[in-house]
């Protein structure tokens, strides 16, 4: 197998991550409309929408964790390049691939812990109490899945940097 199979894999995964990024955007849009409708209902009709706080809380988790892998795909995370800008292009690629691989290992461990946390929540059927009661384990599982997708994106970026050194620096400027 050559780099062609990897390009295909990267392209397909990128499409999936773009879809999850769109889902994060729609969750943000839904929160905006729900909170806006709740404010209007409360202010002008003295009739707030019951459960707005709880639904928004769940949607916020969804919006954040389904969008982090997309942010990595677009290279939109904050980075400090004071040190790496002084290195040769070869060493920049080595550093970038190393950092991406460390990111993969870190987020793989974090996602494992988050899935364990969601599993424990499911076993006890943990719920969020408030004006509306809802189960917490799906929200926790979505957070774990989002971090897992971020870890996979870091792994693919590390491999891509090894196969095509320096390409990332050229495409991000």
pLDDT tens digits for range 35-71: 999 999 999 999 999 999 999 999 999 999 999 999 9
**Where in the chain are the domains?**
3-74+87-168
Q: What is the pLDDT of residue 168?
A: 61
Decide: residue 68, CB within 10 A, 0-12 exposed, 13-18 middle, 19+ buried: buried
Chain centroid offset of residue 91 CA: 28
Residue predicted with more confidence, 170 or 78: 78
User: Given pLDDT bands bounded at 50, 70 and 90, which one contains residue 111?
Assistant: very high
Residue predicted with more confidence, 15 or 165: 15
Q: What is the pLDDT of residue 158?
A: 97
Decide: residue 36, CB within 10 A, 0-12 exposed, 13-18 middle, 19+ buried: exposed
DSSP-assigned letters across all residues of 29-72: HHHHHHHHHHHHHHHHHS-PPTTHHHHHHHHHHHHHHTTHHHHH
Q: What pTM does this model have?
A: 0.89
Count Cβ atoms below 10 Å from residue 11 Cβ, excluding itself: 9
């Amino acid at each position: 197998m050559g780099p062609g199979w990897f390009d295909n894999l990267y392209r397909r995964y990128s499409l999936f991550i773009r879809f999850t990024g769109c889902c994060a955007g729609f969750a943000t849009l839904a929160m905006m409309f729900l909170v806006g409708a709740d404010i209007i209902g409360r202010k002008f009709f003295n009739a707030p929408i019951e459960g707005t706080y709880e639904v928004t809380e769940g949607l916020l988790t969804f919006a954040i964790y389904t969008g982090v892998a997309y942010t990595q795909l677009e290279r939109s995370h904050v980075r400090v390049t004071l040190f790496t800008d002084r290195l040769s292009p070869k060493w920049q690629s080595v550093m970038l691939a190393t950092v991406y691989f460390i990111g993969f290992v870190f987020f793989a461990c974090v996602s494992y812990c988050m899935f364990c946390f969601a599993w424990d929540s499911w076993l006890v059927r943990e719920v969020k109490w408030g004006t509306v009661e809802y189960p917490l384990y799906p929200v926790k599982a979505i957070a774990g899945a989002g971090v897992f997708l971020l870890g996979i994106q870091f792994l693919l970026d590390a491999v891509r940097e090894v196969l095509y050194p320096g390409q990332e620096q050229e495409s991000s400027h």
